[in-house]
Structure 1
Amino acid sequence: MLDIELNPFTNLETERLILREVRETDAPEILFFRSDDTIMRFLDREKLKSEDEALEYIANTRKAVLENEGINWGICLKGSEKLIGTIGLWRFIKANHRAEIGYSLHPDYWNKGLMSEAMKVVLDYGFQTLKLHSIEANINPKNDASRKLLEKHGFVQEAYFRGDYYFQGEFLDSVIFSLIDPDAR
């Protein structure tokens, strides 16, 4: 079984970005990311309704790190502390050395290669530091941007599940992508 240690929290850096722990002071940005119609269009999750809910979300992500169950980074442009997005690894299946990746980005920063830059360093962390064997992504089949991002990083479609997710009174489809550690092949 995989032994995952997420403490202390590890900041990550790219050419243009700092990925850091999400703080309580980030609650306004988290509220925006988790309530904006454009961002939430394909996330199929309940929207946050208040900063108190955003603070609860932040507390849950901190708890996941402390319990070695998941890690969520806030994405900031270098030279700024303001969050422009989030990316994380969660749903660890330690017996199978597997985790799920999830991400969101403020629409003002779409199509600039920033999420791709963040994903690369998170995938490296997952495979090299955490010693994961595979990372999966579960996306809404209509989310073409997410599909393209995953494929750019070598993910392949493993499954298409019809009507497997019940949300807001309807059954939705899901597409599962997976990436096996390139060094394990």
Structure 2
Amino acid sequence: MDFQELETDRLKLVEITDEYIDSYYSIMSQDEVTKYYGMPSLTNRHQAESIVHSFRDNFAVEKSIRWGMIWKETDAFIGTVGLNNWSPFSRKAEVGYELDPSFWRKGITSEAVSAVVDYAFRELGLYRLGAVTFPQNDASSGLLKRLGFKEEGVLRGYLFQEDQNHDALMFSRLREEFLKEER
């Protein structure tokens, strides 16, 4: 399967290659970005390089797809959005994302996630998209609800961060709901 780039009004969603390692590291080394991410902030460039390479490797075996968000106005790499735990056979995946804080509260993540949701249901033929977030992450929960995701419940002790387990909220959106809203 070839990597499919996507485009929105303000963003290009591209394959994350080595040229973006430094930008990815810059974003993921910020505590405010990783506070509700389920992993600690990156502390060196090698960690970012390993993660970027894992994006490519996991895409090759159809386990995940991760796009880099490129701000069209400046061609800057400002975050990522993608499908984790992708199972073509089971027709499901989980949406994930992070964004440089200087671009927060501008509707950018909604724009990117909307494009990925459309691609997942229309092009990949997925039936279910899930999303997991910390209960305290009101911004992420609100974004998911605005995009038609339904809160399913609490996954007890599901996320591990800062040497302890945390509960998570599970959201989902089904293909039939997506297509119904498109009419």
Shared fold per TM-score greater than 0.5? yes
Distance 1:81 1:23, change over 3 A: farther
Deviation digits for residues 29-79 of structure 1 (CA, Å, limit 9, x no counterpart): 111222201111111213222111111111100111111221100001114
CA contact (8 A) 1:133 1:184 kept: no
**Structure 2: tracts of 5 or more residues without a match:** none
Q: Is it true that 1:134 corresponds to 2:133 in the alignment?
A: no
1:92-107 mapped onto 2 (5 Å cutoff): 92-107=86-101
Aligned partner of 2:179 in structure 1 is 183
Please say if residues 10 and 73 of structure 2, whose CA atoms lie closer than 8 Å, have aligned partners that are also in contact. no
Is the contact made by 1:26 and 1:82 (CA closer than 8 Å) also made in structure 2?
no
Q: Distance in 1 between matches of 2:164 and 2:68?
A: 31
TM-fit CA distance, 1:119? 0.9
2: CA distance, partners of 1:41 / 1:10:
30
- Can you list the C-alpha shifts for 1:139-171, whole angstroms capped at 9, x where unaligned? 011100000100000001112123333433322
Aligned-partner SS, 2:167: strand
Aligned 8 A contact 1:75 1:87 in 2: yes
Give ranges in structure 1 of 5+ residues lacking alignment: 1-6
The verdict on how the C-alpha distance between 1:165 and 1:115 changes in structure 2, with shifts beyond 3 A counting, is: closer
- The counterpart of 2:9, out of the listed 15, 32, 49, is 15
8 A contact 2:85–2:93 mirrored in 1: yes
Please tell me whether residue 108 in structure 1 is matched to residue 115 in structure 2.
no
Q: CA-to-partner distance for each residue in 1:13-38, whole Å, 9 max, x for gaps?
A: 01111000112121111112222011
RMSD: 1.6
Residue 41 of structure 1 is matched in structure 2 by 35
1:161 aligned residue (155, 161, 165): 155
TM normalised by structure 2 equals 0.92
> The residue matched to 2:157 in structure 1 has which SS?
strand
Aligned residues between the structures:
179
The 5 A counterparts of 1:55-66 are 55-66=49-60
- Higher relative contact order by CA 8 Å / sep ≥ 6: 1 or 2? 1
Q: What residue is the counterpart of 1:71 in the other structure?
A: 65
